[in-house]
Amino acid sequence: MSSTALGESDKDKTRSVSVDLNNDASLLIDIPDALCERDKVKFTVHTKTTLSSFQKPDFSVPRQHEDFIWLHDTLVETEDYAGLIIPPAPPKPDFESPREKMHKLGEGEATMTKEEYSKMKQELEAEYLAVFKKTVQVHEVFLQRLSSHPILSKDRNFQIFLEYDQDLTVRRKNAKEMFGGFFKNMVKTADEVIISGIKEVDDFFEQEKTFLLDYYSKIKDSTLKAEKMTRSHKNVADDYIHISATLNSLSADDSTAVKKHMEKLADLFEKLRKVEGRVASDQELKLTELLRYYMRDIQAAKDLLYRRARALADYENSNKALDKARLKSRDIPQAEEQQQQCLQKFDKLSESGKKELTSFKGRRVVAFRKNLIEMAELEIKHAKNNVTLLQGCIDLMKTH
């Protein structure tokens, strides 16, 4: 697909998904521009800072999606951040669906009028652009989450990511690593099952765990449903295009007074389709994206819980090891040290985890509030638009 440049027009939208960012002026990051070349999207990451750790106060670097993933992975793997909710990595840019649709449209060109085709194409381009913007947005939000985090914003890798003005040329994962990642995931899942048997010592985490597990499955379901809903809404809007076009050609053939009505109706459907399309895309943006983002965020929180549970299990194991050592009267100090380390780690994780989860809860509520209000307002606005259009058309038809 040809490259598409993204202007700065949608800057105001960029923060719509996750709001709970400390408006810390010391480190401001945005992605003012992005370029799509074939499968790769090149983002321009722009940073404005007052921090002394950066060499310049204002700079931009080119970054690709893989760089973001690399950043995320390094953060996750950093032991020190185990007690933090690492912001979820942005999803891979996916232009498949608009591309596929474009392909289909090309095949069906013969069955459509020129006008209809151009409208459909326009619509698809708009959809493509929306996907593109969304992609940019999620990448931006990822960086913003990092920059607004008191600890993560100090991360060295993060700073390199922002500052290094060459291509990071992150090495792509090779097959072994890919498999390794997969294997790790398997182990993790199995491990989760195993350690779930361990008795929780802290009620807060116990509750949090059940809540998050439950919530995750629910929100995943809701996300799926919301996606479907918005998609079918879009279909309805697309149908309007065809109907409008057909009405137009009908009116062109007609010689009676119906002609006028048909024209009006075609016009109306064309306008309705725009509104309806906007309803669909706004739903997508305000609702589906919200749900999707928090689905991933909860996954991140769950990861935190896992890490803590792992630490707890380690601590339990170290306790056992200590008992064993004492029984055998061998390697006691090592075991004690190990046990102490585990306890420390666990305590630290618990402490920061508690803080993180609490702030996560607040962040989630605020984000939901904001998005739901915005969505309701948009729905009302669009419906009012529709009412005006319909009323206008009815009046027109009645008077003629």
Partner 1 sequence: MATGGSERSSPPPFPDSEDQDPAEECQGVGADVSDEEDGDESFLSATGPSMNTMDSALPLSSEPSEVLFEPPVDLLQEPILKTEPEQAEAVTDPLDEFVDLVDLSDDMPSAQAVAAESPVVEVEALISGTPSDEPCEDFVDLSGSDSDLSEEEAALVEVPADSAGFSADPQDAIAAIPPGDLATGSAVEEEPSPLIEVDISQSSASGEKQHPQPPSDDLLFDPLADLADAVLPPAAIVKKPTQQQQPPPLDLFEDDPSDLFGEARHAKSAKQLPSSLFGEVDEDIFGEPLGTTAKKAVNVASREQRESVVVTKTSVLRARGNVDGPLNNNYEKEPTDIFSEEAVTIAPSAAKAPAAATSSRTNGVRAAEEGDIFAEATVELSLDSPRTDRKKNATAPKPSTSGPTLSSAADLSKTHSASLEELEEEEQEDNFDVNISVTNPEKIGDGMNAYMAYKVSTQTSLAMFRNKTFTVRRRFSDFLGLYEKLTDKHAPAGFIVPPPPEKSILGMTKVKVGKEDSSSAEFVERRRAALERYLQRVVCHPSLLQDPDVREFLEREELPRAVSTQALSGAGFLKMLNKATDAVSKMTIKMNESDVWFEEKLQEAEAADQQFRKLHGLVESLVVHRKELSLNTASFSKSVAMLGSSEDNTALSRALSQLAEVEDKMEQLHQEQASCDSFCFAELIADYIRLLGSVRGSFDHRMKAWQRWQDAQTTLQKKRESEAKLLWANKPDKLQQAKDEIAEWEAKVTQYEGDFDKVSATVRKEVIRFEKEKVKNFKRQIISYLEAQLLAQQQLIKYWDAFLPEAKAIA
Residues of this chain that bind partner 1 (CB under 8 A): 211, 214-215, 218-219, 221-222, 224-226, 228-229, 231-233, 235-236, 239-240, 242-243, 246-247, 249-250, 253-258, 261, 265, 268, 361, 364-365, 368-369, 372-373, 376-377, 379-380, 383-384, 386-387, 390-391, 393-394, 397-398
Least distance in angstroms from the C-beta of 148 to partner 1: 22
In DSSP terms, 37 is beta-bridged to 40
Q: How far is the CB of 120 from partner 1 (least distance, A)?
A: 13
Signed CA dihedral, 239, 242, 246, 247: sign only: positive
Tell me whether residue 56 or residue 231 sits nearer to partner 1 (CB atom).
231
CB of 387 to partner 1, least distance (A): 5
Residues ≥6 apart with Cβ < 8 Å to 188? 306
Shortest distance (Å) from residue 239 CB to partner 1: 4
For 362-394, letters b (16+ CB in 10 Å) and e give ebbeebeebbeebbeebeeebeebbeebeeebe
Residue among 40 and 369 whose Cβ is closer to partner 1 = 369
Question: CB-wise, 185 or 359, nearer to partner 1?
Answer: 359
SS3 278: helix
Closest CB 94 distance from partner 1, rounded Å: 20
Query: Which residue lies nearer to partner 1 by CB, 69 or 224?
Result: 224
Q: Do residues 44 and 31 lie in contact, with contact meaning Cβ atoms separated by under 8 Å?
A: yes
- Closest contact distance (angstroms) between CB of 115 and partner 1 is 14
The sheet carrying 58-64 orders its strands as 27-37, 40-49, 58-64
- Asked whether 261 and 283 are in contact (CB, 8 A), the reply is no
Q: Compare residues 153 and 248 and give the one whose CB is closer to partner 1.
A: 248
End-to-end CA, the chain:
48
